[in-house]
Structure 1
């Protein structure tokens, strides 16, 4: 039998084993020690013999990632599946291979590559996504835009996303749903991301990507994009115009307002409605006459409602007669908006009229608006009811919005702190959300306490608020220096 050894191969004891053998035969060696030495000798013999047969073992680090290898497969489905699996696996070392795969000739593969890149939070992935916004395939660009925004919000695209976008826009043509997603205060996007989104918004050859880019610029709170957003608000594409208006309402740069007044005369009813709301949010006082005419004369109920919402956000004392009339409307939405507008107008003489309306009000949403207005006008005995509204499934969002607005005034903040010990965990959590956007150094101690709350969601939101406050402080210090 061939042992695999050459004729000249000799097996020998390892160095020192001869002396151990002599010890084994010595009469003075204890029996227990003889057994131990005998086992050691046998082990050495086996290891010496094994070295003849076994070659060097390669290091694991020398192996190639099989998924990265699959990205170069001649089969399209294999390459697409590899990209998908890399995204699910989260192996950051594969990001360069994904970036290179953006050159793949198959749109299907490139779409999966962009989705995979969207799951990584690192510069290499961001650079690759910036490149993908210029892809020749419209769906790849849509996904790249979504992934760039998701880099900051955590909301990343998934398979089927582009199809959902197209269907959703068809459904939303007569019923635009405002998207309130936005990054936390103190978080700023890479200027290259803003530039890429502006470019995507301006390139209407991929209209879905343009719409998504407009929405993303609002989500990322990009004041640098305001001029381009004003231009897109005048787009002949209804949904792009509306996304741009919604973005401008989020960014709240009042310089955009005058450039939107002409849209109050738009032939597109939906654009006219959204423009009415946006100029109000941007406190564009020159729009007041047109808004009042829209509210009083337009035959369409939704348009009148939008015009009144604009007047309510504007909060101009000159509109008080219109707002008080709305306070007694048969329309519950008109009553709520009338109250909001009176609260923002800041005239304490309206308090008796609002209290009278509140005592007769049956609708919960309108009541909440009246409680907000009275609190805004200095009647603090309504604050507890407003805070309690945070715990409502139906009206919690409205209560949160009102409290964020009220606590923009630093003197109002301390009035919220006693409610942070509420027995209702939803109230505690949503108050933390309010402080994400308005908290200052006086909020740190109560939030530190809530960061150890027994409710995990409350503790998490308290930590989020603390991060936002510290980020604002760092930003202010940098600006002063």
Structure 2
């Protein structure tokens, strides 16, 4: 057992040395990734130091590794990256904070819903949905008209994941909105809530004047029917 422990420590020390000393950024990035996979929270401080690496790919690998380790001590620095980093590192930080799941990250993730980069907005929306953050619902509903369709899709998924009464009430209103894109997104979100009382609203959308909305309503009804028997 002692020999096994010593061997593991040797491996950790070797990879840590590569992370801090190798001149090739690809090697440093792979070292950060490997440290995360090893799952030893003792390397958290080392990975936090790697956030200041001159190479963005190394920073992203360190961020992902911190998310994998899931130690709350990483949250403050990840929030700093989420606010001030490059777009790729901001997105990685949002995802890592989601893996850690600390409530202290919620304000920063809410701010990230207004990030200039669509990838960051979308990731923040997904993370808040997975965390079940109900206070995010108003902002997520606003994002149903985001300029980026991928962000809209992430927002729809997040609203469905949270599934609060506030979301349902607003989605019901959106079913009658003049904007067909909003009606379409509302149909998708309603289908993901997993509630029987959303089915009549989806049926109503089968009479929508917009063919794309009707098509989405048909698909949404199929999704809803997978969970409930519609007699």
Structure 1 length as normaliser, TM-score? 0.39
Q: Which runs of 5+ in 1 are unaligned?
A: 1-60, 62-89, 152-188, 339-365, 380-481
Question: C-alpha separation between the residues in 2 aligned to 1:202 and 1:148?
Answer: 17
Larger radius of gyration: 1
**Which one of 371, 374, 379 corresponds to residue 229 of structure 2?**
374
Aligned in 2, Cα 1:290/1:197: closer, same or farther, shift over 3 Å?
farther
**Which one of 179, 182, 189 corresponds to residue 297 of structure 1?**
179
Q: How does 1:19-418 map to 2 (within 5 A)?
A: 91-104=8-21, 106-108=23-25, 109-151=27-69, 189-205=70-86, 207-282=87-162, 283=164, 284-285=166-167, 287-288=170-171, 291-293=174-176, 297-298=179-180, 300=181, 304-313=183-192, 315=195, 321-326=200-205, 333-338=216-221, 366=222, 369-374=224-229
Aligned in 2, Cα 1:96/1:236: closer, same or farther, shift over 3 Å?
same
Cα offset for 1:273? Answer: 4.1
Count of aligned pairs: 217
Cα offset for 1:252? Answer: 0.9
Q: Provide the aligned C-alpha RMSD in A.
A: 3.4
Q: Which runs of 5+ in 2 are unaligned?
A: none
Residues 412-432 of structure 1: CA deviation (Å, up to 9, x unaligned): xxxxxxxxxxxxxxxxxxxxx
Matched-pair contact (CA < 8 Å) for 1:114–1:143 = yes
Aligned in 2, Cα 1:219/1:333: closer, same or farther, shift over 3 Å?
farther
Matched-pair contact (CA < 8 Å) for 2:98–2:128 = yes
